[in-house]
């Protein structure tokens, strides 16, 4: 007898006690939503801080400075950095943030020289609306990352004032880099004159090296070049720089990882309790099924199938809600002008559904074993 023939029977069992099934589904969905959210944060952390063998970017910062408001370096350091062996590109960057503390909606202004786009420093960036030429023509123009433009509801041609800086949106850009997706690129001299009028002062230098193997040696050479200057530098790989600046956030996310697994344990307990109660209510039903020729093994299989359906259905609802929330909000954790995107790919969805199915199977094992060991007479006497 094909196992698929018993699917309608299992579904009828689930539907028969609607209140219990709905409460179980709601509990599982809520727990899996939290689990997905935690996994999405951890995925963003891995992408923003995970080192690879292809990393070629360095960040040159003021020594012993952390928040962008406190890192001030002379812009003319750029020419000296460019002469360091192994350096391919140098981009002086002035960073101004609407909020230096950790937040979900921070606008990071990055002032860069217009010619840096012509030198290949932003070859990984793709303009999906507007153009670089429009951005170059106006000193107050800005190129917005897709995430910050989406969160703020901005489009090309809009004018906006953020933290006293008024800009005109000249383009929307996409990029594989989280920092580009959450930044507003403006003209360097425009941003230097805004606010405190720090002409000739930048926050950092973004450096690209000629070969990934030269990353550490080039960083050491740059810091050695400025060790005795009035403004000494500290140079990290971009991934290390993000990890250092967001160290507190990383600890919170790591702790949240335990919360995610706690949610999974809660799903197990919830499904287990629901199936145990369901089996206890259907003792006579199982006895009748035995008299009709259902084997103990088949009854146990039907109970496990019921448990799995409840768990997977709840997991699908919770994960679908998580995908909808993260896709709609496009949230990013920002700290000190650096961003960690909150999102999860197909791997995380598959992991969540797989764990939901495994949880349902494990939760149904004990009640299935108990039900399969009862004899017919015991089942009738128990009611």
The residue to which tokens 């179980």 are assigned: 24
Contacts of 362 (CB under 8 A, 6+ apart): 268
Q: Does residue 285 carry a pLDDT above 70?
A: no
79 phi and psi angles, rounded to 5 deg: -65, -35
Q: Which two tokens stand for residue 242?
A: 């993000």
pLDDT digits (tens, 9 = 90+) for 307-341: 888 888 888 999 999 888 888 877 777 766 677 77
User: What mean pLDDT do residues 377-382 have?
Assistant: 52
C-beta neighbour count of 43 within 10 angstroms: 18
The structural domains of the chain, with segments of one domain joined by +, span 3-49+248-381, 64-231
Res 25 pLDDT > 70? yes
**Predicted confidence (pLDDT) at residue 120 exceeds the cutoff of 90:** no
For residues 162 and 245, the model is more confident at 162
pLDDT above 90 as % of the chain: 16
**Comparison of pLDDT for 86 and 103, the residue scoring more:** 86
Residue 270 in this model has a pLDDT that exceeds 50: yes
- Work out the mean pLDDT of the chain and round it to a whole number: 81
Q: What is the DSSP letter of 103?
A: B
Whole-angstrom CA distances from 217 to 53, 62, 211, 240, 322 are: 15, 18, 11, 15, 43
Task: Please name the residue that has the structure tokens 């919830």.
Answer: 270
8 A C-beta contact, residue 106 and residue 99: yes
Given this model, what pLDDT does residue 119 score? Answer: 76
* CA 376/CA 276 separation, integer angstroms: 19
Q: DSSP string spanning 324-348?
A: HHHHHH--EEEETTEEEE----HHH
Q: How confident is the model at residue 178 (pLDDT cuts 50, 70, 90)?
A: confident
Does residue 280 surpass a pLDDT of 70? no
Name residue, tokens 């050491």: 220
Q: Is 352:61 a contact under the CB 8 Å cutoff?
A: no
pLDDT for residue 222 = 93
Residue matched to tokens 């350096």: 87
Half-sphere exposure of 204 (CA within 13 A, CB side): 28
Region 258-279 average pLDDT:
76
Q: Give the pLDDT confidence score for residue 1 in this predicted structure.
A: 44
Contacts of 68 (CB under 8 A, 6+ apart): 95, 96, 97, 100, 203, 204, 336, 337
Burial string for 130-160 (b: 16+ CB within 10 Å, else e) reads bebebbeeeeebbbbbbbbbebbebebeeeb
Handedness of CA 96, 98, 103, 109 (dihedral sign): negative
Q: Is the pLDDT of residue 226 over 90?
A: yes
The model's confidence at residue 83, banded by pLDDT at 50, 70 and 90, is: very high
φ, ψ for residue 6 (rounded to 5)?
A: -95, -5
């Amino acid at each position: 007898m094909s196992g698929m023939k018993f699917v309608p029977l299992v579904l009828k069992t689930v539907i028969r006690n609607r209140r219990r099934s709905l409460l179980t589904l709601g509990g599982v969905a809520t727990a899996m939503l939290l689990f997905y959210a935690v996994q999405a944060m951890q995925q963003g952390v891995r992408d923003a801080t995970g080192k690879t063998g292809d990393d070629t970017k360095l960040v040159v910062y003021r020594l012993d400075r952390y928040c962008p408001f406190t890192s001030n370096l002379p812009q003319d350091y750029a020419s000296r950095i460019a002469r360091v062996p192994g350096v391919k590109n140098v981009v002086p960057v002035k960073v101004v943030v609407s909020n230096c503390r950790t937040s979900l909606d921070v606008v990071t202004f990055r002032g860069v020289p217009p010619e840096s786009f012509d030198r290949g420093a932003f070859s990984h960036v793709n303009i999906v609306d507007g153009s670089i030429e429009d951005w170059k023509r106006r000193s107050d123009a800005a190129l917005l990352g897709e995430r910050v433009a989406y969160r703020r509801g901005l489009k090309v041609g809009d004018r906006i004032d953020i933290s006293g800086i008024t800009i005109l949106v000249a383009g929307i850009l996409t990029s594989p880099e989280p920092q580009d997706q959450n930044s507003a690129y403006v003209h360097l001299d425009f941003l230097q004159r805004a606010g405190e009028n720090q002409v000739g002062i930048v926050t950092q230098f973004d450096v690209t090296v000629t070969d990934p193997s030269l990353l550490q040696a080039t960083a050491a050479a740059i810091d050695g070049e400025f060790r005795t200057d009035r403004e000494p530098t500290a140079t990290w790989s971009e991934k290390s720089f993000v990890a250092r600046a967001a160290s507190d956030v990383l600890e919170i996310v790591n702790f949240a990882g335990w919360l995610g697994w706690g949610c999974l344990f809660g799903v197990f307990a919830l499904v287990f309790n629901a199936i145990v109660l369901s089996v206890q209510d259907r003792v006579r039903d199982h006895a009748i099924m035995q008299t009709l020729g259902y084997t103990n093994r088949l009854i146990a299989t039907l109970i496990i199938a019921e448990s799995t359906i409840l768990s997977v259905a709840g997991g699908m609802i919770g994960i679908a809600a998580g995908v909808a929330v993260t896709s709609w909000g496009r949230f990013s954790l920002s700290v000190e002008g650096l961003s960690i995107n909150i999102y999860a790919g197909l791997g995380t969805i598959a992991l969540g559904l797989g764990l939901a199915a495994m949880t349902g199977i494990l939760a149904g094992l004990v009640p299935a074993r108990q039900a399969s060991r009862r004899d017919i007479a015991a089942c009738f006497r128990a009611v």
